[in-house]
Amino acid sequence: MSLVNVAIHSSQFPEKVRRDLLDSLRTRAVNHKFHYDSVKQTQKWLALHQVHSPSRNDADCAATYDRAFASAAARINAPEVHLIGVGCGGGQKDTRLLHLLKSHGKEISYTACDVSTAMVLTARETALSVLPPQNCFPLVCDLAGADDLSTTFATRNTQHATRLTTFFGMIPNFEPEMILPKLASLVGKNDWLLFSANLAPGSDYHAGVTKILPQYDNPLTRDWLLAFLFDLGVEAGDGELRFAIEDLNTLKRVVARFHFTHSRSFAIENERFEFHPGDSIRLFFSYRYTRELVRAHLQQHHLQVLDQWITQSAEEGVFLCRRA
C-alpha cells in the first residue's frame, strides 16, 4: 500500500515540540529527542549505530540478544502476544523477537514506538517481513512527555493479548527516576519486560566507564550530535564538543557538552538565544550501569529480574523482568 497510518501522541504535537525545544535552549540541556528530529539526523544515527553498536559489530553481543529472545519466546505461554517496541529504532531486534514468537505459534501484533517518524516507519517496514500490515501499529511518542503510556498502547485489537515490552538501548538516555516508573506502568501481572542496559565492564566502576568512552567520543557521534546545533545556526568554529564522565548519586554517565569559545546568537520565533565564550550546552548523556545497579533500580519500582544475559565483554546486558 502507498499509505501508512501512523498514530501521533500528543507529546509530539507541534506546540509541545516547540515548547520542549525552547526549554532545551533555555536550560542549556538538550532533550535527546531533538537528535532524531529530522530524516538527516536519523540517517546519521543509523550510520553511527551500524559502526559502533556492539549488537552490530560484536558477534557475541548479537548472540546474547538471540539467547534472550529465544528464552523469552519459550517462557511466554499466552497464545496472543502484543510486542511493544518502546524506542524501537530501526526495529531489527524487535523483528528477530517477533519471528521467534511466531515460530512458537503465537498470534502476534506489534507497536513500533519512537520519537522519530522516520524510525517508526523504518521499524514497521522491517517488521512486515514477519507479520501482516494490519497487525502493525506505528506510534510516534515522546516517552518523557507521555503520562498515559499504558492506555496509549491498549488497542481494541490487542486487549486480550499478553504484553511484551522491549526497551533496547534506551535506558542510558533517561533519568532513571523518570523512565523506570513509566516502564513499570506497562507491566501488568501477566506481562513481561525485556530490556537492555549498557554496562561498565570490570569490577572497577569508574575504570569500566573510562574504557567505553571511545564508543561515544568518535567522529560519527560528534557529527550526529552537532547536527542539532548546526541546524540552529551554530558554526563549527564557535567552540568544541567535549566528553566527560559525571557522577550522580550511585550512577555514572558519559556527558557531551559543546563549549563556546566565540559568541553566537540565533532566534527561534520571537525568542533570541545568546551564547558567549565560557558558556556551554549539554547535548547528550548516557548512563552506564552495572548488573547489580540494574537490579537495584528495577527493584525500587517492583520489577523483578527473572533472567539475564551478559555479553563476554561485560559491556551490555539483556534482562527479562516481570512485576514483583
Q: pLDDT tens digits for 227-268?
A: 999 999 999 999 999 999 999 989 999 999 999 999 999 999
pLDDT of the residue at 45: 82
Is 322 in contact with 301 (CB distance < 8 Å)? no
Q: What is the pLDDT of residues 176-193, one digit of tens each?
A: 999 999 999 999 999 999
Residue 111 falls inside a structural domain: yes
User: The C-alpha cell of 69 is what?
Assistant: 529472545
Compute the radius of gyration of the chain from its Cα atoms. 20
Tens-place pLDDT, residues 206-215: 999 999 999 8
In a domain, 164, yes or no: yes
- Residue 311 C-alpha cell reads as 555479553
The whole-number pLDDT of residue 156 equals: 65
Residue 269 in any domain: the answer is: no
How much is the pLDDT for 1? Answer: 64
In this structure, of 46-50, 102-106, 171-175, the range with the lowest mean pLDDT score is: 46-50
CATH number for the domain including 294? 3.40.50.150
Phi/psi at 24 (5° precision): -60, -40
Quote the number of domains for the chain: 1
Give which of 246, 243, 249 is closest to 280, Cα–Cα.
243
Contacts of 154 (CB under 8 A, 6+ apart): none
The terminus-to-terminus CA distance of the chain in angstroms comes to 43
Q: pLDDT at residue 56 above 70?
A: no
| 238 falls within a domain | no
State how far Cα 6 lies from the chain centre: 19
Question: How far apart are alpha carbons 203 and 205 in whole angstroms?
Answer: 6
Determine which of 9-13, 158-162, 203-207, 311-315 has the lowest per-residue pLDDT on average.
158-162
Phi/psi of residue 211, nearest 5 degrees: -65, -35
The range of the structural domain enclosing residue 135 comes to 7-14+55-201+289-323
State the pLDDT at residue 249. 85
Picking from 54, 139, 67, 138, the residue whose alpha carbon sits closest to that of residue 96 is: 67
Grid cell for residue 258: 559543546
pLDDT at 123: 96
* Residue 157 is assigned to a structural domain of this protein: yes
241 belongs to a structural domain: no
**DSSP designation for 116:** -
Neighbours of 247 (CB within 10 A): 11
Residues in the chain: 324
Q: Are strands 271-275 and 264-268 parallel, antiparallel or unpaired?
A: antiparallel
Q: 263 and 275 in contact (C-beta within 8 Å)? A: yes
Q: Which of 44, 57, 128, 123 is nearest to 90 (CA)?
A: 123
Q: Which three cell numbers stand for residue 19?
A: 515548547
Q: Taking Cα atoms as reference points, which of 323, 324, 318 lies closest to residue 72? A: 318
The cell for 225 is 550530535
- Mean pLDDT, rounded, of the chain: 93
